[in-house]
Chain A
């Protein structure tokens, strides 16, 4: 069963628009960790954020913000005032320590390709 769902395959916005990337997860664990990674056109995976299941505080880092809602099993990512350099594929990922992920193996969603046009 798919554990991490990123329903938006591709999003295209114009520079300076705000954009939200959705992530819905499914887990049997009460302790779990959620991550967002960015994959720019060059191909590497860049860590953006980690959130544990006991911390539902939203987080803001510059133009990036994350909204974690356990009630809806969602961990959405918003970019404010998007820039061309934000163009990338963004992956949401889940780590379930008690179910085959004891060492932090990540289960990735299929990714959302964000294109920011000037």
Chain B
């Protein structure tokens, strides 16, 4: 069964360091997303990406964050200068079509710990 894969599963970094989280969406999917879940809290939308550009982003997704799809398969989330409050589980998701009813397939998450 096709799945969304994320690496690393867990990353520990020092405050101020750059972090790149990687995702390989399901191969025929066209829409890609990053969500964040701070420990014990709800899952929050960060950004959606289609046709090699950001479609929508939340207020959480500030200038410290960026996304790209460098090679047609990987979909990355970069945090330029990490802060303590960036510690969270980051979920990548992908969807086949445009309709909002389409099922989002989530990866298993990348846990980021900022010290």
> For window 21-79 of chain A, which residues contact chain B by CB distance below 8 Å?
33, 37, 42-47, 50, 52
Give chain A's interface secondary structure class: loop
Q: Is B75 an interface residue (CB 8 A)?
A: no
Residue of B nearest to A109 (CB): B42
Residues of A within 8 Å of B35, CB to CB, are: 106
Contact B43 A45 (CB under 8 A): yes
CB<8 Å pairs between A and B, sample of 14: A37-B106, A43-B89, A43-B109, A44-B106, A45-B91, A103-B48, A103-B55, A103-B98, A103-B100, A104-B102, A105-B33, A105-B45, A107-B45, A108-B43
Give chain B's interface secondary structure class: strand
Contact A97 B42 (CB under 8 A): no
Closest 6 CB pairs of A and B: A104-B100, A97-B100, A45-B106, A44-B108, A108-B43, A110-B42
Interface residues of A (CB under 8 A from B): 33, 37, 42-47, 50, 52, 91, 93, 95-97, 100-111
Residues of A within 8 Å of B106, CB to CB, are: 37, 44-47
What does the 1/0 interface line of B19-46 toward A look like (CB < 8 Å)?
A: 0000000000001010100000111110
A95-B101 in contact given A43-B89, A45-B43, A111-B42 (Cβ < 8 Å): yes
Interface residues of B (CB under 8 A from A): 31, 33, 35, 41-45, 48, 50, 55-56, 89, 91, 93, 95, 98-109, 111
Residues of B within 8 Å of A111, CB to CB, are: 42-43
For residue A27, give the distance in angstroms from its CB to the closest CB of chain B: 12
Q: Which of A42, A96, A103 has the most C-beta atoms of chain B within 10 angstroms of its own C-beta?
A: A103
Contact A50 B103 (CB under 8 A): yes
CA–CA, A50 and B89, complex, Å: 24
- 19 more A-B contacts (CB under 8 A) besides A44-B109, A96-B100? A33-B101, A43-B89, A43-B111, A45-B106, A47-B104, A50-B101, A91-B42, A93-B43, A95-B100, A103-B55, A104-B31, A104-B99, A104-B100, A105-B45, A105-B48, A106-B35, A106-B43, A108-B44, A111-B42
